[in-house]
Amino acid sequence: MTTTDDALGPIYSQVVHRNPGESEYHQAVKEVFDSLGRVIAKQPHYGQSALIERLCEPERQVIFRVPWLDDQGNVQINRGFRVQFNSALGPYKGGLRFHPSVNLGIVKFLGFEQVFKNALTGMPIGGGKGGADFDPKGRADMEIMRFCQSYMTELSRHVGEYTDVPAGDIGVGQREIGYMFGQYKRMTNRYESGVLTGKGLNWGGSRVRREATGYGTVYFLAEMLKTKGLALDGRKAVVSGSGNVAIYTIEKVQQLGGRVVACSDSDGFVVDNDGIDLNLLKEIKEGRRGRIAKYAELKGNGAHFSSGGTIWDVACDIALPCATQNELTGRDAKLLMQNGVLAVCEGANMPCTPEAVRMFAEAEILFAPGKASNAGGVTTSALEMQQNASRDSWTFEQTDAKLAAIMKDIHDYCAATADEYGLPGNYVAGANIGGFVRVADAMSALGVI
């Protein structure tokens, strides 16, 4: 424990004690605490009324059985979660993850991060997260539908447009949101558009929501590069993952003149020095739900697939981890820096290990933490809620312009907060402190609840 404030050590120990075995949650809390010592030293009231202890204890945690029938007629059982972390700023808001690795600790780490991220957007949304240890890979469409219906049958008791508004995350895209929205509508007899975001365009969705996390990550990156007089044009980038966030990160990097030479999935990574062919990638991943190895097979000429090593072995100017937590280690950070990386911008949640983050900070490499740089997804979800509430539908250009403006605001707020607390250029501290003070001020105003 290296927090700068003695008061935080015992609170962190208590978090570890009360949440045994939840290593990702401990990691997320520690990472925030490492920034808060300075805040409490400067404004001691933030250390009072058990405010920080309350921030670390979710308002509500729901764990439930999700029984469903597979195509062979067998009963399958999964475990569902929804952690409603903090509603001081608005209804709980955060995605649902369907992946076999999902457990309570992972949902809590994601929910905790979400509280600060949502505060940074300046929108009226609290933080929550959910999911299930369900593996959608290789499942038929009707199996996915039955799973989603069963999951929503329980979740419907806990969500609502003024209570908790889930969206997608790993393994949950528009198809799954559709099945869950359909089930919610059927159970409640209400067309309550604002209960879920990430919906399809013809049933209450927002333009740019699909692209938002990736585009927003690159808007943040461009702002960060600008502070050093740099731009994306002509730069070589590596993007891990090939899901929703990765695909639209690649698209925006390419639109701004960068060349993405590698991307991945959990089987391995492809390198294509001509620059990733985005149409081919979308056809494989969005069209056929296929594997990344297929890209090298279909592209031929020069593109190759590797199932050994890591994608971070590929030399680049810009690294954009967009797959999952703890995917970029200290060893990877060292190699990226040896290869001359200029900036690292997180599209995923907590993809860089604490060691990697520390190494980038020590080497003064531009580094954007996901809770700031990937906030474009939730920002556009909040824009979707606005459109649902006013029965309105904005154009792509209008929505994209709002997203870009909010990402610039988040960037500038993090940079200004880091300056204010004597850590110029430290976006980790800026995001943690900036998010914290907004939530803490609202919690103080609402009394001990």
First to last CA, the chain: 29
* Catalytic annotation, pick one of 129, 199, 236, 299: 129
Residues in the chain: 449
Structure-block tokens of residue 85: 């972390």
CB 294 within 8 A of CB 277: no
The one-letter amino acid at 179 = Y
> What is the rounded CA–CA span in Å between residue 214 and residue 377?
8
Please identify which residue in 171, 194, 205, 430 interacts with ligand NDP, judged by CB under 6 A: 171
Q: Does 208 bind ligand NDP (CB under 6 A)?
A: no
Query: By C-beta, is 166 or 241 nearer to ligand NDP?
Result: 241
Closest CA to 55 of 32, 73, 22: 32
> What is the rounded CA–CA span in Å between residue 425 and residue 415?
6
Query: By C-beta, is 254 or 444 nearer to ligand NDP?
Result: 254
Taking CB under 6 A as the binding criterion, the range among 58-66, 162-170, 332-340, 416-424 that sits at the site for ligand NDP is 162-170
Q: Does 374 bind ligand NDP (CB under 6 A)?
A: yes
The one-letter amino acid at 53 = E
Cα dist from 130 to 95, 133, 358, whole Å: 6, 10, 29
DSSP string computed for 31-83 = HHHHHHHHHHHH-GGGGSTTHHHHHTS-SEEEEEEEEEE-TTS-EEEEEEEEE
Active site residue 117: no
Query: By C-beta, is 150 or 324 nearer to ligand NDP?
Result: 324
In the complex, minimum distance from the CB of residue 168 to ligand NDP, in angstroms, rounded to a whole number: 5
Query: By C-beta, is 11 or 378 nearer to ligand NDP?
Result: 378
In the complex, minimum distance from the CB of residue 381 to ligand NDP, in angstroms, rounded to a whole number: 8
Query: By C-beta, is 3 or 249 nearer to ligand NDP?
Result: 249
CB 299 within 8 A of CB 276: no
Please identify which residue in 24, 133, 169, 176 interacts with ligand NDP, judged by CB under 6 A: 169
In the complex, minimum distance from the CB of residue 347 to ligand NDP, in angstroms, rounded to a whole number: 6
> What is the rounded CA–CA span in Å between residue 37 and residue 7?
8
> What is the rounded CA–CA span in Å between residue 131 and residue 421?
36
In the complex, minimum distance from the CB of residue 374 to ligand NDP, in angstroms, rounded to a whole number: 4
The secondary structure of residue 425, as a DSSP letter, is T
Please identify which residue in 349, 373, 379, 387 interacts with ligand NDP, judged by CB under 6 A: 349
Taking CB under 6 A as the binding criterion, the range among 44-52, 61-69, 146-154, 237-245 that sits at the site for ligand NDP is 237-245
Q: Does 168 bind ligand NDP (CB under 6 A)?
A: yes
The one-letter amino acid at 209 = R
CB 317 within 8 A of CB 340: yes
Taking CB under 6 A as the binding criterion, the range among 119-127, 177-185, 186-194, 345-353 that sits at the site for ligand NDP is 345-353
Which x/- pattern over 238-277 shows residues binding ligand NDP (rule: CB under 6 A)? ---xxxxxx------------------xxx----------
In the complex, minimum distance from the CB of residue 317 to ligand NDP, in angstroms, rounded to a whole number: 22
Please identify which residue in 208, 316, 323, 428 interacts with ligand NDP, judged by CB under 6 A: 323
Query: By C-beta, is 222 or 323 nearer to ligand NDP?
Result: 323
Q: At what angle do helices 427-445 and 104-121 cross, to 10 degrees?
A: 90
**DSSP E strand stretches across 137-235:** 164-167
Taking CB under 6 A as the binding criterion, the range among 54-62, 165-173, 328-336, 395-403 that sits at the site for ligand NDP is 165-173
Taking CB under 6 A as the binding criterion, the range among 56-64, 163-171, 219-227, 422-430 that sits at the site for ligand NDP is 163-171
Please identify which residue in 86, 174, 193, 213 interacts with ligand NDP, judged by CB under 6 A: 213
| C-alpha dihedral, 258 to 261 to 264 to 267, nearest 10° | 180
- Number of separate helices (H) and strands (E) present in the chain: 16, 12
The secondary structure of residue 132, as a DSSP letter, is E
Taking CB under 6 A as the binding criterion, the range among 27-35, 47-55, 321-329, 387-395 that sits at the site for ligand NDP is 321-329
Count CB-CB contacts under 10 A for residue 372: 30
Residues 6+ apart with CB under 8 A from 42: 421
Q: Which residue is nearest to ligand NDP (CB)?
A: 243
In the complex, minimum distance from the CB of residue 64 to ligand NDP, in angstroms, rounded to a whole number: 21
The secondary structure of residue 93, as a DSSP letter, is E
Please identify which residue in 80, 111, 127, 377 interacts with ligand NDP, judged by CB under 6 A: 377
Structure-block tokens of residue 411: 């960037």
Please identify which residue in 132, 344, 348, 352 interacts with ligand NDP, judged by CB under 6 A: 348
In the complex, minimum distance from the CB of residue 75 to ligand NDP, in angstroms, rounded to a whole number: 25
Report, as residue numbers or ranges, the catalytic residues.
129
Residues that bind ligand NDP (CB under 6 A): 95, 168-171, 213, 241-246, 265-267, 322-324, 347-349, 374, 377
